[in-house]
Amino acid sequence: MNRIVLPGALEGQFHAPASKSHAHRLLICAALGCAPVTVSCDTFSDDIIATTDCLNAMGAKITHEGGTISVSPIFANGRPDGACQLYCKESGSTLRFLLPVVGALGLDAVFHMEGRLPERPLHPFDEVLIAHGMHIHQTGAELHVSGKLLAGSFALPGNVSSQYLSGLLFALPLLPGSSTLTITGALQSASYLAMTEDAVLSSGICFSKSQNVFTIPGNQTCCLPDGLAAEGDWSGAAFFLCAGALSDTGIFASGLQETSRQADRAVLELLSRFGAEVRTEPAGVFVRKAALHGISIDAGAIPDLIPAIAAVAAYAEGETNITNAARLRLKESDRLHTVAETIKSLGGQAKELPDGLVITGTPRLTGGTADSFGDHRIAMLAAVLAGGCREPVTVLGAQCTSKSYPEFWQTLDQLKGDSL
């Protein structure tokens, strides 16, 4: 599906979608739980569908109606017969979270991967799991898994993917013996690991943490409280908050928690540094255009924010320098390349570096055609850039936004204001 976006600033109010990062964690804890529960989640993205489908194949019974997801846990429904066929689509979170859980439960499974997911790294995660009793081998877009994960001493680098660490925090408490999990080197995306810690702690799981070492007792059972809700998604909302920074009227967002563990709440600080007007209120957040200027950004803790922030950088006076962003090359697209190409394809200025970007602001872009590269965040970047273009923007493959934000285009239409 292609989408034509007309020039013109966005304005008005929207409610943030549910955080898929938070929903993943709640659903996994619920599926590993001791009793049926419901989880409130008003956004059912492709990634969340992938996680629920995989958990169902592992023995859970998960259904949803409206904004309520009902979960009957795996332990209440018996072990599935034969190898579980786990269709995780393009969801790296689904794969990395559930891979050690499958081992902890002693299930045979085949993970079916789509898009760039078969190319995205599992090393050294797979080696660590194999060293602790699992058998893992990849054939094309299928990852074949068997064997029982064994308790013991685990060590993983903190600068590859916090999702590896999160997967083990879900799995290790289920094992018969106690384990330790050591994070070697600097931890990036620490806030995402903190979200996992919060989810498992809220489920009654206990562990101790001393600096970079978790000590995790075995023989534990998850008991997620009934009725928890997935919080609003700062990552998805960031695109419209950035659009607010390009709007003389501004945009108000409700449904976001300022105290959230989500790293991408940093969008507010970054927009303030760009010079935008940013106000937090009890009911939500307001962002409006002011004199924008380029800034320097360390992307280490906030890689998912870079496509949204790039839209502001493309119109801010001067240069914006983005560094420590090499991990963006391992996303649904090579985002250092695709962010730069998207800006340039619409008449802006951007230079791709080995681990970053230099974006030089332009008062107005020309418009034209922007390829989404099958990446939800690149499609949303193109849509926000369209607001300041002279001519309409055609976004190719616009349907990919359903991966994280299925209501994105509906919300865009809702906020579309007068032409610039």
The residues carrying an active-site annotation are 304
Residue with tokens 């659009």: 243
Cβ within 8 Å of residue 239, ≥6 positions away: 307, 308, 311, 380, 381, 383, 384, 408
d(CA 144, CA 148): 13
Sheet-wide strand order for 356-360 = 296-298, 319-323, 356-360, 349-353
Nearest-Å Rg of the Cα atoms of the chain is 21
d(CA 106, CA 383): 45
The CA-based angle 384-91-256, given to 5 degrees, is 50
d(CA 214, CA 207): 7
Strands 368-371 vs 393-396: parallel, antiparallel or unpaired: parallel
**Maximum distance among all Cα pairs of the chain, rounded to whole angstroms:** 63
Helix residue ranges, H only, 132-212: 162-171, 190-202
Burial of 178 (C-beta count, 10 Å sphere; 0-12/13-18/19+): middle
